[in-house]
Amino acid sequence: MPPAPTLLGVSLKMYFGHRQTVDWCRDVARMAAEHPAVGSGAVDLFILPSFPALVPAGQAFAGGPVRLGAQNLHWEDGGPFTGEVSGPQLREAGCSYVEVGHAERRRLFAEDDRIVAAKAAAALRNGLIPVICVGEQQRMPADEAAATCTAQLEAGVRTVTDGQQLQVVVAYEPVWAIGSSEPASVEHIRAVCSRLRTWLAGQDRFPHHRVMYGGSAGPGLLGRLGQEVGGLFLGRFAHDVGALAGIVDEAAERAG
* Single-letter amino acid code for the residue at 141: P
Residue of closest CB approach to ligand G3H: 235
- Residue 52 CA, chain-centre distance (Å), reads 19
Using the rule CB under 6 A, is 97 a contact of ligand G3H? no
Which of 173, 188, 209, 250 is an active site residue?
Answer: 173
Is 208 in the active site?
Answer: no
Least separation, in Å, of the C-beta of 48 and ligand G3H?
A: 8
Using the rule CB under 6 A, is 132 a contact of ligand G3H? no
CA–CA separation, 244 and 249 (whole Å): 9
Using the rule CB under 6 A, is 217 a contact of ligand G3H? yes
> Looking at beta carbons only, is 22 or 103 nearer to ligand G3H?
103
* C-alpha dihedral, 98 to 131 to 121 to 87, nearest 10°: 0
Which of 216, 222, 230, 254 touches ligand G3H (CB under 6 A)?
A: 216
Using the rule CB under 6 A, is 174 a contact of ligand G3H? no
Least separation, in Å, of the C-beta of 189 and ligand G3H?
A: 13
**DSSP output for 173-231:** --GGGTTSSS---HHHHHHHHHHHHHHHHT-TT-SEEEEEEESS--TTSGGGS-TTS-E
> Looking at beta carbons only, is 87 or 219 nearer to ligand G3H?
219
Using the rule CB under 6 A, is 11 a contact of ligand G3H? yes
Is 102 in the active site?
Answer: yes
Using the rule CB under 6 A, is 237 a contact of ligand G3H? yes
Least separation, in Å, of the C-beta of 232 and ligand G3H?
A: 9
Which of 87, 156, 215, 230 touches ligand G3H (CB under 6 A)?
A: 215
Q: Which residues are catalytic?
A: 102, 173
